[in-house]
Structure 1
Amino acid sequence: MSSGKITTKYALLITILIGGFFFISKLLGLEENPYLRFFNLLFVLIGIRQAIKTNIFENKETNYPSNLGIGIQTAAAAVILSIIGIVIYVKYINPEFLTVMNNSFLIGGDLSLAEIVLTLLIEGMASSVIGAFIIMQFYKNHDKEELQK
């Protein structure tokens, strides 16, 4: 499987997990709980892990920078897709959610949608890079001989 397909597949998985979790939280009346956003990081880590693992086992790629790049690209694409989803949700479905986000301790303040998007982009990209480095610690010394069998 090409690296582009891996990135796309797992970025979409992350986005679906985050979006699905949000809508389940909304159904349960918990969408205003900022602590639940930490589950988003768990979904990102799961997607990064699966992307790197797929690249190692299907493409037999053991190059650290290549696998790290797959992880970062996957998470970054998921962050961008998730932000697009948030913008659509706030602009067309529930404009009041902007107030909920502004009241969150994670954002805080009276920010515009553009400022919140920038905040989420920075936060998401930072967690993408850190998450990829964390996951790569499990795969950095992966046995290359085992893959060649």
Structure 2
Amino acid sequence: MTSTKIIIKYALLIILLIGGFFFLCKLLGLEENPYLRFLNLLFVIIGIRQAIKTSIFKNKETNYATNLGIGIQTSAIAVVVSIIGVALYVHFINPEFLAVMNSSFLIGGDLSLSEIVITLLIEGMASSVIGAFIIMQFYKNHDKENLNE
């Protein structure tokens, strides 16, 4: 499996997990609970882990920088697409959700949609890089000798 396929596959997994969770919260009336946004980080970590693990075990890739890059790219693509989804949701489907986001302690303030998008982008990219580094700490000393079997 090529690195590009790994990145796309697990970016889509992250997008589906985040989007599915958002709509589940919406169905349950929990979309206004800002604490549930922390679970998005869990979904990003799951996707990063799976991408790096696939790169190591299926591609036999043991280079730290390559696997770190796969993790960052996977989560960065997922974050960007998810933010586009949020922006489209607020702009076309539910403009009142902007007020919900502004009342959240995580955003806080009277921000426009574009300012919230920038905030989410910074937050998402930071979690992408940090998440990839955290996962790579587990795999950096992984038993490389057994990968050649």
Alignment TM-score, normalising by the size of structure 2: 0.99
The alignment status of 1:41 with 2:41, answered yes or no, reads yes
What CA deviation, in whole Å up to 9, does each residue of 1:124-145 have, x standing for no partner? 0000000000001110011111
Note the C-alpha offset of 1:121. 0.2
Partner Cα distance (1:113, 1:88) in 2:
10
The alignment status of 1:52 with 2:19, answered yes or no, reads no
The residue aligned with 1:4 is 4
The residue aligned with 2:129 is 129
Q: What secondary structure, in the 3-state scheme, does the structure 2 residue paired with 1:59 have?
A: coil
Gaps of 5+ in 1: none
The residue aligned with 1:120 is 120
The residue aligned with 1:143 is 143
What CA deviation, in whole Å up to 9, does each residue of 1:79-112 have, x standing for no partner? 0010011011001110100000000000000000
| Residue type at the aligned position of 1:22 | F
The residue aligned with 2:30 is 30
Partner Cα distance (2:24, 2:144) in 1:
41
What CA deviation, in whole Å up to 9, does each residue of 1:21-76 have, x standing for no partner? 00000100000000000000000000000000000011100000000000000000
Q: What secondary structure, in the 3-state scheme, does the structure 1 residue paired with 2:58 have?
A: helix
Alpha carbon RMSD of aligned pairs, Å?
0.5
The residue aligned with 1:84 is 84
Note the C-alpha offset of 1:18. 0.3
The residue aligned with 1:109 is 109
Q: What secondary structure, in the 3-state scheme, does the structure 1 residue paired with 2:62 have?
A: coil
Partner Cα distance (1:108, 1:16) in 2:
27
Partner Cα distance (1:2, 1:84) in 2:
26
The residue aligned with 2:67 is 67
Gaps of 5+ in 2: none
Segments ≥4 residues shifted beyond 3 Å? none
| Residue type at the aligned position of 2:75 | A
Partner Cα distance (1:113, 1:8) in 2:
27
Alignment TM-score, normalising by the size of structure 1: 0.99
Partner Cα distance (1:37, 1:132) in 2:
19
| Residue type at the aligned position of 2:121 | L
